[in-house]
């Protein structure tokens, strides 16, 4: 397949002065689909609205660990309603992020587990964010593996190759972003090599993590081609073959996708 898949982007981010331009140019950018991912209630609403408005744009809803303080019964109730939309494919992004102080680690862990439970009740896979909290995240996943019944993604994978078997055993997919194009990404390249093709996804995390040769500029879903090209090179396959694998993987992970594509 000559078209590319961006399985994780933030189309509602304020860096985009005219976010409507991204869906409008998907065909010429050779984008088969993109997923607009929520990180709080407002962005989750916007993600579902974008998915309802545009073909080949889908949604994920959830509360990012940096926004954990807004979590509560009312917000969860609305997220659960949003998650019922047929264009909503995932619950996320959710997880742990210990990078920016001050932070409440116990709150982050509680909100992460609460959302794992909500995703499971909604029969949705999860998009997991992990930054500087590997030990605690892995223990939470180990203890709550049953809540991953419907699968999930280690979004923007940045961990070592040695941890790949642990996540694969949990049934998770590993998604790679523009970081694979960075000059200092040697360890990450080993991780790409360690993941079987049937568990790989591609993403941009737009507007963040802009790949080479555009580092320093605002990332765009169209730049996922540079991610796919690098991953294909590392796996020793043609980029079209990689795109075919990514689409097959994403269809397997997200059962709603086929019905949503038929209604496109």
Query: Tens digit of pLDDT for each residue in 159-189?
Result: 999 999 999 999 999 999 999 999 988 899 9
Nearest in space to 114 (alpha carbons), one of 126, 104, 102: 126
Angle between helices 239-253 and 224-235 (to 10 degrees): 100
Band the pLDDT of 231: cuts 50, 70, 90.
very high
Angle between helices 41-53 and 73-82 (to 10 degrees): 10
pLDDT at 64 over 90: yes
Band the pLDDT of 262: cuts 50, 70, 90.
confident
Band the pLDDT of 235: cuts 50, 70, 90.
very high
- Given a contact cutoff of 8 angstroms between Cβ atoms, the answer to whether 86 and 259 are in contact is yes
What pLDDT is attached to residue 94? 98
Domain limits, the chain? 10-262
**Has domain 10-262 been given CATH number 3.20.20.140?**
yes
Give the count of beta carbons closer than 10 Å to the beta carbon of residue 176.
27
**Average pLDDT of the residues in 109-134:** 98
What pLDDT is attached to residue 102? 76
Taking the whole predicted model, whether its pTM rises above 0.85 is answered as: yes
- Given a contact cutoff of 8 angstroms between Cβ atoms, the answer to whether 177 and 204 are in contact is yes
What pLDDT is attached to residue 54? 94
**Average pLDDT of the residues in 35-63:** 97
Q: What is the pLDDT of residues 65-103, one digit of tens each?
A: 999 999 999 999 999 999 999 999 999 999 999 998 878
CB within 8 Å of 199: residues ≥ 6 apart = 168, 172, 173, 174, 249
User: Measured between alpha carbons, how far is 207 from 218 in angstroms, rounded to an integer?
Assistant: 5
Band the pLDDT of 260: cuts 50, 70, 90.
confident
Query: Read out DSSP for 148-207?
Result: GTT-EEETT--S-GGGHHHHHHTTEEEEE-GGGGSTT-HHHHHHHHHS-GGGEEE---BT
**Average pLDDT of the residues in 141-151:** 98
Q: What is the pLDDT of residues 190-224, one digit of tens each?
A: 999 999 999 999 999 999 999 999 999 999 999 99
Burial class (CB in 10 A: 0-12, 13-18, 19+), 198: exposed
């Amino acid at each position: 397949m000559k078209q590319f898949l961006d399985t994780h982007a933030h189309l509602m981010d304020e860096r985009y002065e005219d976010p409507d331009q991204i869906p409008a140019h998907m065909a010429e950018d050779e984008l088969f689909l993109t997923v607009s991912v929520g990180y709080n209630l407002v962005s989750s609403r916007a993600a579902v609205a974008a998915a309802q408005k545009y073909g080949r744009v889908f949604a994920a809803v959830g509360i990012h660990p940096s926004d954990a303080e807004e979590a509560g019964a009312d917000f969860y109730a609305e997220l659960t309603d949003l998650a019922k939309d047929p264009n909503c494919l995932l619950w996320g992004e959710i997880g742990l992020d210990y990078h920016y102080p001050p932070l409440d680690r116990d709150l982050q862990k509680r909100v992460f587990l609460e959302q794992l439970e909500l995703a499971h009740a909604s029969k949705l896979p999860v998009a997991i964010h992990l930054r500087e909290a590997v030990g605690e995240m892995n223990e939470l996943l180990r203890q709550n593996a049953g809540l991953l019944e419907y699968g999930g993604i280690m979004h923007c994978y940045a961990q070592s190759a040695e941890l790949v078997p642990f996540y694969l055993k949990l049934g998770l997919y590993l998604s790679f972003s523009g970081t694979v194009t960075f000059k200092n990404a040697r360890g990450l390249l080993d991780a790409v090599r360690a993941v079987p093709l049937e568990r790989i996804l591609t993403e941009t995390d737009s507007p963040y993590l802009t790949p080479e040769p555009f580092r320093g500029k605002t990332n765009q879903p169209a730049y996922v081609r540079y991610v796919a090209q690098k991953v294909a090179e590392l796996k020793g396959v043609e980029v079209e073959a990689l795109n075919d694998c990514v689409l097959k993987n994403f269809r397997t992970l997200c059962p709603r996708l086929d019905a949503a594509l038929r209604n496109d």
